[in-house]
Structure 1
Amino acid sequence: MRLTDFWQRMDEVFGAGYAPSIASDQVLTTLGGRTVREALDAGVATVVVWRAVCAAYPDRVPSKLR
């Protein structure tokens, strides 16, 4: 998954105003206790980060985006 696709999905799921906050503030245990931004900056593959977001917000992410 390309980084641009990842951010488009984040915006679609959380809204353009809230997605950056989720990415910067929410620590996910499946990412080793890092935020989305920290994981991406550390070189974690976008698909791995996206799967972690899907797992953390199962009611928020529609099946078509999983």
Structure 2
Amino acid sequence: MRHTELWERLDHHLGGAYAGSWAEQFVIGSLGHRTVREALDAGVPPQQVWRAVHEVLDLPASER
């Protein structure tokens, strides 16, 4: 997964206006207690970040 796909998915599920702020403020334990932005900046692969987001948002399996 590329960074652009991750951001597209976040926009789809959270809305374009909210996705960016959510990614900068919501701390996810499975990402080392970091936000999406912090995890990506630390080099965590987008696919791993998406899995964590998917779990936190309790999205359907079809959205993996």
Letter in 1 for 2:17: G
Letter in 1 for 2:41: D
Alignment length (residue pairs): 64
SS in structure 2 opposite 1:34? Answer: coil
Give yes or no for the alignment of 1:14 onto 2:14.
yes
Identity %: 50
For CA contacts below 8 A with separation 6 or more, give which structure has more relative contact order: 1
Cross-structure match for 2:24:
24
Structure 1 unmatched ranges of 5 or more: none
Deviation at 1:62, TM superposition (A): 4.1
Structure 2 unmatched ranges of 5 or more: none
Q: Distance in 2 between matches of 1:65 and 1:11?
A: 13
**TM-score (structure 2 length as normaliser):** 0.93
Following TM superposition, the consecutive aligned residue runs of length 4 or more in structure 1 with deviations greater than 6 angstroms are none
Cross-structure match for 1:45:
45
**TM-score (structure 1 length as normaliser):** 0.90
Deviations 1:4-54 (A, max 9, x none): 111000000000001011100000000000000000000000000000001
Q: CA RMSD in A?
A: 1.0
Cross-structure match for 1:3:
3
More helix by share: 2
